[in-house]
Amino acid sequence: MRVGTGFDVHAFGPGESVMLGGVRVAHSQGVLAHSDGDVLLHALTDALLGAAGLGDIGEHFRDTDPRWKGADSAGFVTHTLGLLRARGWRVGNADLTLLAERPKVGPHREAIRARIAELLEVPPDAVNVKATTTEKLGFLGRAEGIGAQAVVLLLPAR
C-alpha cells in the first residue's frame, strides 16, 4: 500500500460561488484560478499523484495550458485515477480537510463526500470531509482565500 498527501490554496476573487469537492457552493466571492479552482479536488489530485510517485498536479495539468482554462477539476481526479489504475492501484480511502473561515462546509459535506466517492469509485464511507478555521489567523483567517489538505491510501487493485 502507498500513502500520499496534498495541499492547495486559492485566493478569493470576483464571483458568486466556489467549487468544493466537485460541488458548487454559493458564496459572496469566487476564487482566482486557471481551472475552476476547486481546492479540495486539487489537494486530492496531488495526494493521489504523490501516493503513486507520479509528481504533482502542476506537472500533469499546467496552469498555463489552455486545455485547463476554466477546467472542471473533476477531470484532474479521473485522469489521475486512470494513471493509478494503469499502475495497478486503487483508492483505499481519502481524508480531506477544508481550511476556511467561510463558506461553511457543513451543509454541503454529504454532497461533497458523495461526489468525491463517485470520482474515486469508492463507497462514501471511504471518503471523509472535514473543515476547520485557522482561528482568524493568517491569510485563511482573514478570509483572503481557502485552502485544503488531503491524504489518500492506495491499495493494490483487485
Footprint on this chain of Mg ion (rule: CB under 5 A): 8, 42
Question: Whose CB is nearest to Mg ion?
Answer: 42
Name which of 42 and 115 has its Cβ closer to Mg ion.
42
Measured distance CA(95)–CA(54) in Å, rounded: 20
Instruction: Give me the helices (H) in the chain, please.
Output: 39-51, 57-60, 74-86, 109-120, 138-141
Q: Could you tell me the smallest distance in angstroms from the CB atom of residue 148 to Mg ion? A: 9
Name which of 39 and 81 has its Cβ closer to Mg ion.
39
Measured distance CA(62)–CA(68) in Å, rounded: 8
Q: What is the CA 26 to chain-centroid distance, rounded? A: 17
Name which of 126 and 131 has its Cβ closer to Mg ion.
131
Q: Could you tell me the smallest distance in angstroms from the CB atom of residue 60 to Mg ion? A: 12
Cis peptide before 123 (omega within 30 of 0): no
Q: Could you tell me the smallest distance in angstroms from the CB atom of residue 158 to Mg ion? A: 32
